Structure 1
Amino acid sequence: MIGDFRFRLNGATPPLSVDDWRERARGRVPRMVWAYIENGADDERTLQENQAAYRDWYLNQRVLAGVADVDLTVTIAGTRLDLPIVLAPTGLAGAAHWHGDLGAARAAERNGTRLVLSSASSYSIEEVGRGTEEHHWFQLYPWRDRRLIGSLMDRARDSGFTALFVTVDVPVYGNRLRERRTGMAIPPTLTPARILDAARRPRWIYGYLRHRRTTLRNLIPDDARVSEVESVEIQSENLTADIGWGDLEWIRSRWNGPLYVKGVLHPDDAERVVDLGVDGVVVSNHGGRQLNAVPPAIRALPAVAERIGHRADVLVDGGIRSGTDVIIALALGARACLIGRPLVYGLAGGGTRGVAAVLAILREEMIRGLTLMGTPTVKDLGPDSLSPARRPTLT
């Protein structure tokens, strides 16, 4: 059963950081799955800078502050969270580990937070709704077929999902070269060499053959026998490059709960989104997997937060690998952060328990960091909590 996974460390030091979980995950999955997890678009400039941009900031430390307890609680979409970190929607999570989205949702509950379930999830909306104790949130692509996306919204509402996150930065797929070179293109392609590589990961191949959690379950009927390739083709066929503001207006009119738009980088877009009645935005470049050479999300965050932070929730994702990164993001105007790759590192390295361990590490790092900064609550974070690490270049 999911949740009963046990680590067998054989005397080895357990993973102590997100980077440790990354290294553990790398050895657990086939190369083509690892390429899917790690790659970005084109030369991966934005992917690399997403993470590096956090080094632009130093934390300001204040001493003798007497911080005995640290409060990490925030409220997002009307839900009180014990941790300002939400699990981001990750398509095909079951390729990393068969526990997939359901295991990730249960790990989020253990840590007092929520999962945003991907439209391209390996467990259906209904399976996650039935298999969890708390309400979670659902991610939607504004695909071509309004009957399809309307059905997904209805299913999410009926299954207890209380907020909707609409991803707007995938009118077409980004040029993900590592995926294409290793066979994880659209559609995926298998060769004898790739099958042999997967067979060298017996734990992964056992989970794959036993549980078959590598199809996009929301896009196929429960009783349909559809292959992984066919389910991915269904999704790709529904992408439409001509999505516009009218599509978002239609979604807003049809969804009566909290609505967030994911994939915003420009403050003008953020303002227009809020003018349409959206409750918040996620400042995001899709983890560097879509348009290459756009700014790192953390650099785009302050301008968006300044423009709309008084009217709507501002969240951010991309490049977060530590509790310190979360602190920096909150100080720059985010109410909370979403994590994608760290979620998958934990999932690939240890299933449900791995995801829970990643969240626990981030919580511990945040508490330690805020205590050393002399900051008792995340609500006290702001621009004066940081100093620039690099002087601007004079021209």
Structure 2
Amino acid sequence: MRNKWIVSIDDYRKASRKQLPKMISDYLEGGALDETTMRANEDRFDALMLRQRSMVDLRGLNTSTTVLGHSLAMPLMVAPMGMLTIFHPGSDPAVARAAVRAGSIFIHSAWAGCSLEEVAKVAPDNLWAQIAFWKDPAETASYISRARAVGVETLVVAGDVGSSSKRERDLHHGLSMPPRPPVADYFNAATRPSWLWRWLTGRKMTYGNYQINGRPLRMDEMNNWMASNKNPGANWEDFARLRSEWKGNLVIKGIMDAEDAARAVEEGADGIFVSNHGGRQFDSQPATIDVLPSIVDAVGGRAEIYLDGGIRRGHDIVKAVALGAKAALAGRPFAYALATGGEPAVDRVFGILQEEFKGAMGFVGKSSVADLDSSIFAGQAQSAPTESVLI
């Protein structure tokens, strides 16, 4: 779907609501409990003002950078997202192909609706794999072996899923596994015929990273599988053990505290992924941009730092990099696009953010990503402001 009136991420957000049943759009847009953290992720970016500079020679402006030695066209990657299949049958491979064309990296979720092997076929050199420490060590070891077999060089450890989340939008819609929506949601789904047709005729919705008896795990089997494999005991010893066994790059996701960031570096992390799960796991915690400066200080240049949560504009990426992130990641923007218009729309989201990022770099008078620092903020801000912008 290429609509000339869609020119921003928010336009894709609104358009996706017209394509998806309400229970699915609420799943995409919702967060934990009162959704305070989810809103703060965006609001806190908006609270940071930038200095406009004039008469700067920008003929050599270059948006490229590197992460762990891999070249990026701009400091933006795709955050891991589970169950993309429910938005569009193109699912993970569609987003991954778009990431390749955009010169980005796709991080495949441990909770994806299709297998790591399928994505590796379309993005062999632009793929990181997220892993979880399951209760049965053999499950974790098997997945790591699969990642190694398809050439993955960077693992992303899920460090922010130890406790269960409560998303009340989903509970209102009966989105358990298997889903048990109220009658009203069936009628609402019937008003989205294109989504319904894709759901009936397209890719089957499976928990495709894992298998039972040689076939992908069905959605109605997910609850039992998760109940028996969830590991509340996962800890730093598991991370250290993985570090001793994995010879590639190791990133830990879900770091929101300077003490944890320092510990991660001590345990051998190559990358620190500042993330609050987009506000979907734990409510009433800070926005990621607010904790970024303290984590940068704690890491002290010993590992790369990445950030997600609230990235909706190109200037958000500029702000994140200026405060010390090597790159920013986005999730929902790509899901909005996938739901709205499939793979071509995902291409367009990359293009929108690239154009906005380049424009913002020009306005703050910086011609290279390496030059982005705290001097770009109005008032020479050294960190995100501390006063609350929420009511």
TM, length-normalised to structure 2:
0.93
> How far does the alpha carbon of each residue in 1:13-64 deviate from its partner, in whole angstroms, 9 at most, with x for none?
3310000111111111111111211111111111111110012211112111
Name the structure 1 match of 2:186. 195
Name the structure 1 match of 2:268. 277
> How far does the alpha carbon of each residue in 1:320-354 deviate from its partner, in whole angstroms, 9 at most, with x for none?
11001111111111000110111111111111111
Q: Secondary structure at the match of 2:378?
A: strand
Name the structure 2 match of 1:103. 94
Contact 1:219–1:235 (8 Å) recurs in 2: no
Deviation at 1:187, TM superposition (A): 4.4
**Aligned pair 1:143/2:134, yes or no?**
yes
Amino acid at match of 2:167: R
**Aligned pair 1:260/2:260, yes or no?**
no
Contact 2:85–2:92 (8 Å) recurs in 1: yes
Contact 2:104–2:126 (8 Å) recurs in 1: no
Contact 1:171–1:243 (8 Å) recurs in 2: yes
Name the structure 2 match of 1:32. 23
**Aligned pair 1:239/2:233, yes or no?**
no
Name the structure 2 match of 1:49. 40
Name the structure 1 match of 2:52. 61
> How far does the alpha carbon of each residue in 1:280-318 deviate from its partner, in whole angstroms, 9 at most, with x for none?
111111111111111100000011012214110000000
Name the structure 1 match of 2:146. 155
CA distance in 1, matches of 2:266, 2:260: 10
CA distance in 1, matches of 2:83, 2:226: 12
Deviates more, 1:296-305 or 1:166-175: 166-175
Name the structure 2 match of 1:287. 278
Name the structure 1 match of 2:6. 15
Question: 150, 167, 185: which is aligned to 2:176?
Answer: 185
CA distance in 1, matches of 2:213, 2:323: 44
Amino acid at match of 1:361: I
**Aligned pair 1:224/2:215, yes or no?**
yes
Query: What percent of counterpart residues are identical?
Result: 35
Deviation at 1:83, TM superposition (A): 1.6
RMSD over aligned Cα, in angstroms?
Answer: 1.9
Amino acid at match of 2:158: T
Question: 319, 323, 326: which is aligned to 2:317?
Answer: 326
Distance 1:202 1:69, change over 3 A: farther
Name the structure 2 match of 1:353. 344
Deviates more, 1:241-250 or 1:20-29: 241-250
CA distance in 2, matches of 1:234, 1:83: 38
Q: Secondary structure at the match of 2:234?
A: coil
Name the structure 1 match of 2:376. 385
Distance 1:130 1:61, change over 3 A: same
Deviation at 1:391, TM superposition (A): 7.5
> How far does the alpha carbon of each residue in 1:206-231 deviate from its partner, in whole angstroms, 9 at most, with x for none?
11112234211011258537531213
Name the structure 2 match of 1:317. 308
Contact 1:186–1:236 (8 Å) recurs in 2: no
Distance 1:324 1:258, change over 3 A: same
Name the structure 1 match of 2:156. 165
Deviation at 1:191, TM superposition (A): 4.0
Question: 56, 62, 72: which is aligned to 2:63?
Answer: 72
Contact 2:273–2:306 (8 Å) recurs in 1: yes
Deviation at 1:392, TM superposition (A): 6.4
Deviates more, 1:382-391 or 1:83-92: 382-391
Distance 1:236 1:301, change over 3 A: farther
Amino acid at match of 1:158: A
Distance 1:192 1:319, change over 3 A: same
Distance 1:158 1:378, change over 3 A: same
Contact 1:123–1:213 (8 Å) recurs in 2: no
CA distance in 2, matches of 1:168, 1:180: 24
Contact 1:70–1:377 (8 Å) recurs in 2: yes
